[in-house]
Amino acid sequence: MLFRYQSRYMSTEIQAGGADTAKLTAAAALLVGGVAAFYWFADQSLLMRVLGLLAVVGVSIFIAAQTALGHSIIAFLGDTRTEVRKVVWPTRAETTQTVMAVIFVVILMGVLLWMLDMFLLWAIRILTGQGG
């Protein structure tokens, strides 16, 4: 199996072999076993079950990270982090202005839809003869 990850900065092409398949299968089996154990030991403390499940998840992630797919995911996450740092985030004033504009438009649309509903209700009462 061939995993290919290409970013702006690098191209990663990793050939996955039988060992990778075995590692991914072991990680998945470990996760399934951890979830099963979580419910199997329902009479035990919730804290201990959650800590055990977190330990199993951590070991599974560690095993999966040793595969070709894991390496490509780690490279992708590194590039994602770099791109997030490049984003020019809005200032607090811009965020506040945008939120206020959205609130205003929501209220305005609510009032307009309420008025349309009242008009349609009035028109239907007139047409059906129920309006007095």
Q: How far apart are CA 69 and CA 20, in angstroms?
A: 8
Q: Is the pLDDT confidence value at 16 over 80? A: no
Q: Is the pLDDT confidence value at 27 over 70? A: yes
pLDDT, averaged across the chain? 90
Place of tokens 């055990």: 52
Task: Collect all residues with Cβ–Cβ distance below 8 Å to 19 and sequence separation of at least 6.
Answer: none
CA atoms within 13 A on the CB side of 30: 19
What are the beta bridge partners of residue 4?
Answer: 13
The verdict on pTM exceeding 0.75 is no
Specify the higher pLDDT residue, 100 or 131: 100
Express each pLDDT in 81-119 by its tens digit.
999 999 999 999 999 999 999 999 999 999 999 999 999
What are the structural domain ranges in the chain? Answer: 2-86, 90-132
Share of the chain above pLDDT 70, in %: 86
For residue 91, give the DSSP letter.
P
